[in-house]
Structure 1
Amino acid sequence: MWTEGKVIERIDWNDELFSLRIKADITPFIAGQFIKLSELREGKRVARAYSLVNPPDTDYLEVLAIKVEHGLLSPNLHQLSVGDAIDVSSSAAGFMVLDEVPEGKHLWLIGTGTGIGPYFSMLETAQAWQRFEKIALVYGVRKIKDIAYKDLIDKYQAEHPTQFQFQAMVTREDCAGALKSRIPEALANGSLEQGLGLTLSAEHSQVIMCGNPEMITDAQVILEQKGLKKNLRRKPGQVTVERYW
């Protein structure tokens, strides 16, 4: 089922990366879930999934998107302005929510590109801060200009200075404070743990990953070597993943 949404605000992080705030009437959702945006073209519906960045208590929906050359939907989304309409799924979906994450002391939120979006929704709720002693946000991008929501990251660092830790991973340029490495490589050689001052362990860690499928696949191999298993409802583990493509 679809409902009409109206763009009420947009943020351009760079020439291709952007956020849309959309006013739409959907059923209540849980932080970490995603909606679908869509258009009808010649009687055929083109739809794509986008994680919600906003927490559940806001009166708008917010998505982080990137214009993909020759993409079926993102180039059109990139052209939307305030007041434009876009079809929105009437309910959110997805199991990458904190209620599905088993108990642990340390929560690792690992994302690349737009896959970082749902973590802000989670971190804007009290649940994450109440459940975990330490929260590490790992954000993989190609260049430093590709980092979105730095204002929120700065806020978490200021409000939770001993609980929240942030590590940028920038693969294509040198940047102060960032690791110039792919996430799987930094997991394998220990530089990510060293940079954050946290140890990954099956005993204390819970890991959520979202973003590039290759990153997720490669990182899962490394995490399994460290003793962390995929989290399934029928068999709880330490690694929760979300795949959109």
Structure 2
Amino acid sequence: MSIETLEVPVAPPANVYAVRVTAVKHYTPFLFSFSCERPGAFRFRSGEFVMIGLMNGPKPLLRAYSIASPAWGEQLEFYSIKVPDGPLTSRLQNIKVGDEILLGKKPTGTLVLDALTPGKRLFLVSTGTGIAPFASLIREPETYERYDEVIVTHTCRTTPELEYGYELIEQTKADPLVGEEAAKKLRLVTSVTRDPHPLQGRITTLIENGELFKHLDEPPLDPAHDRVMICGSAAVLQAMKELCEAHGFVEGSNSEPGSFVIERAFAG
């Protein structure tokens, strides 16, 4: 997931790595993914985000990006929007293999397994590029050690925007490390707000009216054994936070684990 803001603090060059782009894939006129080298000293927990950017004259221009690759990955993967007039993405969308980008040295975030108390069913609720941190988590072996079921929900405006998620689930179930467990425990549910689709509407609506659980053939949310991670737009984060709290869930953090978490870096 990526965010655009008008101003960002300028990180000194000593706080960033210069890394080479190793892959780029464009999904729609508004969405693309890219991979880069992983410095030997770079460590992170699956689900965290990091600052990514380009030089802007003598200074780096940086934005927060969720890491889409798992903590064990040899390269770092990211999934991004394209903002035509965005200070960074208007340029970043044109990167090619071999180009140099900047990578922050201090990953962080709350969409990590340790921010949740133990449970049985894990819901990873995403909209748009908010699926990125969950691309990391569903390829993390510990996710399947902790949960009996892992359900990814991906809501987009149009059907073509779902391609990244479909591709991700297919690759995960074929992965030599987690594929066997993912084949048994991992499910993807997609919904669309503007195109015809088996599930249409906002994810909050589909949870509240029960259509999500009818589609899954699963019982509704229960804080006794369900855990929820949420990543999307600021409006989605706020609406899902209110929904979870209304159902008796308690927000967690790195210092105080709870039954649901959101990534506050993207909360606006």
Same fold (TM over 0.5): yes
Q: Which of 149, 153, 161 is 1:138 aligned to?
A: 153
Determine if the alignment matches structure 1 residue 72 to structure 2 residue 87.
yes
Q: Distance in 2 between matches of 1:196 and 1:119?
A: 19
What is the aligned partner in structure 1 of residue 58 from structure 2? 43
What is the aligned partner in structure 2 of residue 12 from structure 1? 26
Deviation of the 1:180 alpha carbon: 0.6
Q: Distance in 2 between matches of 1:13 and 1:65?
A: 10
Q: Distance in 1 between matches of 2:139 and 2:255?
A: 29
TM-score by length of 2: 0.85
What is the aligned partner in structure 2 of residue 89 from structure 1? 104
Asked whether the equivalents of residues 4 and 24 of structure 1 are also in contact (C-alpha less than 8 Å), the reply is: no
Q: Which of 150, 165, 171 is 2:166 aligned to?
A: 150
Deviation of the 1:151 alpha carbon: 2.5
Q: Distance in 2 between matches of 1:112 and 1:99?
A: 23
What is the aligned partner in structure 2 of residue 63 from structure 1? 78
Secondary structure of 2:28 counterpart: coil
TM-score by length of 1: 0.92
What letter corresponds to residue 195 of structure 2 in structure 1?
Answer: E
Percent of residue pairs identical: 28
Structure 1, unmatched stretches of 5+, are none
Q: Distance in 2 between matches of 1:225 and 1:138?
A: 20
Q: Distance in 2 between matches of 1:155 and 1:88?
A: 25
Deviation of the 1:162 alpha carbon: 4.3
Deviation of the 1:192 alpha carbon: 1.4
What letter corresponds to residue 20 of structure 1 in structure 2?
Answer: F
What letter corresponds to residue 70 of structure 1 in structure 2?
Answer: D
What is the aligned partner in structure 2 of residue 193 from structure 1? 213
Q: Distance in 1 between matches of 2:113 and 2:91?
A: 32
Asked whether the equivalents of residues 113 and 139 of structure 1 are also in contact (C-alpha less than 8 Å), the reply is: yes
Deviation of the 1:233 alpha carbon: 5.0
What letter corresponds to residue 63 of structure 2 in structure 1?
Answer: R
Q: Distance in 2 between matches of 1:30 and 1:234?
A: 15
What is the aligned partner in structure 2 of residue 241 from structure 1? 262
Question: Number of residue pairs matched?
Answer: 243
Q: Distance in 1 between matches of 2:173 and 2:108?
A: 30
Determine if the alignment matches structure 1 residue 124 to structure 2 residue 139.
yes
Determine if the alignment matches structure 1 residue 110 to structure 2 residue 125.
yes
Q: Distance in 2 between matches of 1:233 and 1:18?
A: 30
Deviation of the 1:145 alpha carbon: 0.5
Deviation of the 1:174 alpha carbon: 0.7
- Pairwise CA RMSD: 1.8
Deviation of the 1:149 alpha carbon: 3.9
What is the aligned partner in structure 2 of residue 213 from structure 1? 234
Asked whether the equivalents of residues 170 and 181 of structure 1 are also in contact (C-alpha less than 8 Å), the reply is: yes
What letter corresponds to residue 167 of structure 1 in structure 2?
Answer: V
Which string of whole-angstrom CA distances, capped at 9 and with x for unpartnered residues, describes residues 96-147 of structure 1? 2112211011000001111101111111111111110111100011111002
What is the aligned partner in structure 1 of residue 193 from structure 2? 171
What letter corresponds to residue 135 of structure 1 in structure 2?
Answer: V
Which string of whole-angstrom CA distances, capped at 9 and with x for unpartnered residues, describes residues 26-58 of structure 1? 521110011111223233432101111111222
